[in-house]
Amino acid sequence: METYAITTVLDVGANAGQCAAELRDIVFIMIDIDNFKPINDTFGHPAGDRVLIQMRDVLLEACRTSDMVIRWGGDEFLIVGRDANADTAETLAERIRAGVEEHPFTLDGGQILRTTASVGFACFPFLRSDPTRFEWQQVLAVADVAQYVSKKTSGNAFTGFLSTPKSAEIEDLFRMIREEPGRLIDEGLLEIRTSVAPSVELVFHHSDESKLRVEPGDSAKDRADSGPDSSRPTRG
């Protein structure tokens, strides 16, 4: 059902005579509720169900009428939005993050629960110069990796991965986004947009070696001058 909904959105553009290069207006936003398991464990699954229903309402309130809100399974939701470039996607991701943080989730008996969400986004087509290179499922996976960064770094954050003019030079770009996004960012092959504070370490993988810190004023020149041990990605 979820796959049919996404392909329907993409087919609308195709049926309107748009080629892949013109389908720059699709954005995938993945949302994962932070600390959802403790909610179920502490208050019971009916309480978790109430949180999920209210989360849907928060997302519908934050999104535009043209956006599609999909329950993606478990405590994850997916937003599929048209007419949304990178700047619009970033604005929407922040609106979702803030909306969840500010919402009082009401449980049975009137008890109020507060929670947050981790958000990740990516645009389809992913590469402007090679719009058919990534299938939509791959772009969705990129958004999921970005959401993972938000989740593992701090929670209550959004992260977006975007291509750069140099991204198409990488033959195995999709694999590297999934396995080595920090390296791509550092080399200018991937753009990151995030609400995580600049001085906070970004966690890309489970190992401590993938924790990278960006200090205010850090620049590519500074890193090059200070040697290989200071290799840290800048943020867009």
Each residue's pLDDT tens digit, 95-143: 999 999 999 999 988 999 999 999 999 999 999 889 999 999 999 999 9
111 domain residue, yes or no: yes
User: Strand, coil or helix: what is 192?
Assistant: strand
What's the number of domains the chain is made of? 1
Q: Is 235 inside a domain boundary?
A: no
Q: Residue 49 domain-assigned?
A: yes
Q: Is residue 224 part of a domain?
A: yes
pLDDT in tens, 7-28: 555 554 444 334 444 444 799 9
- Domain membership of residue 99 (yes or no) is yes
Asked if the structure places residue 157 within a domain, the reply is yes
Annotated catalytic residues are 75
* CA distance to 11, 23, 120, per residue, from 19 (Å): 11, 7, 26
The whole-model pTM stands at: 0.81
Domain extent, residue 116, equals: 2-230
Residue 49 belongs to a domain with what CATH number?
3.30.70.270
Single out the residue of 124, 122, 94, 118 nearest to residue 178, CA to CA: 122
